[in-house]
Amino acid sequence: MDNLTFFQLNTHHCKAAMANLSIFLNQNNVDILLNQEPYCHNGIPSLTPINYTHFYIPSNTIPRACIYIRSDIAHNFTLIHSFSTPDDVIIALSTNPTLYIASSYLPPYDTLIQDLQPFEYFLTSLNPTNLVWGLDSNCKHQMRYSPITTSTCRSRVEFLSAHSLTTANEKDGPTFSGPQGESWIDITVTAKKMVYRIHNWLVSEKETQSD
């Protein structure tokens, strides 16, 4: 598995968007989907795309992060329970060094430092050099081509810098489009030493029935 194809999408708990994913993922040969706000039924991510296996953390609330992997390769990945939460799902692939893959949802409130604590614990404990982290950051920054900079986004930029992380989608976008306008709130983060291994990052123009 030298080459993996990733797709990142916030489905906004939308049933139609999840139903559409099965066709999209299989037609585009996607290996791994980093999903935020999956459609859930009784608190469990539902409508799992055909030929895919999902990884998530059960809770009394609706999980807001999930990772889907092609079923024929899913057995190679392990869910890291000790660092994962309903909003931060982290899996590992046994490579040398280990490849860590994460999907996170950060709520749009002034609680960013608190919300990042579980992931910071993961970063400081394992110091991953191979990391792909897809997240809905829900914050805006002029560095991300937004006309405004929110206080939460300043904290996010400082967090990434403190842990030697960088974004793979520096100039691509927007990654969100909805009634409120367009923005670059959905980002793909990686360890600086690994950024050269990410190729052909782009925003798909295909309809996903989500934002």
* pTM higher than 0.75: yes
pLDDT score recorded for residue 210: 59
Phi and psi dihedrals of 140, rounded to 5? -120, 145
Phi and psi dihedrals of 55, rounded to 5? -125, 125
pLDDT tens, the chain, 211 aa long:
578 999 998 898 999 888 888 888 988 899 999 999 999 998 899 999 999 999 999 988 899 999 999 999 999 999 999 999 999 999 999 888 899 999 999 887 767 778 899 999 999 999 999 999 999 877 765 555 555 556 666 777 788 889 999 888 766 665 555 555 556 667 888 988 888 888 776 666 665 555 5
143 CB-side CA count, 13 A: 13
**Treating both helix axes as pointing N-terminal to C-terminal, what angle do 112-126 and 151-162 enclose, rounded to 10 degrees?**
10
Q: Read out DSSP for 86-152? A: TTEEEEEE--SSPEEEEEEE--SSS-HHHHHHHHHHHHHHH--SSEEEEEE-----GGGT-SS--HH
Smallest Cα–Cα separation from 208: which of 10, 5, 6?
10
Smallest Cα–Cα separation from 104: which of 119, 82, 83?
119
Q: Read out DSSP for 11-39? A: -TT-HHHHHHHHHHHHHTT-SEEEEES--
Task: Say if CB 120 and CB 159 are below 8 A apart.
Answer: yes
User: How many angstroms separate the CA atoms of 73 and 135, rounded?
Assistant: 23
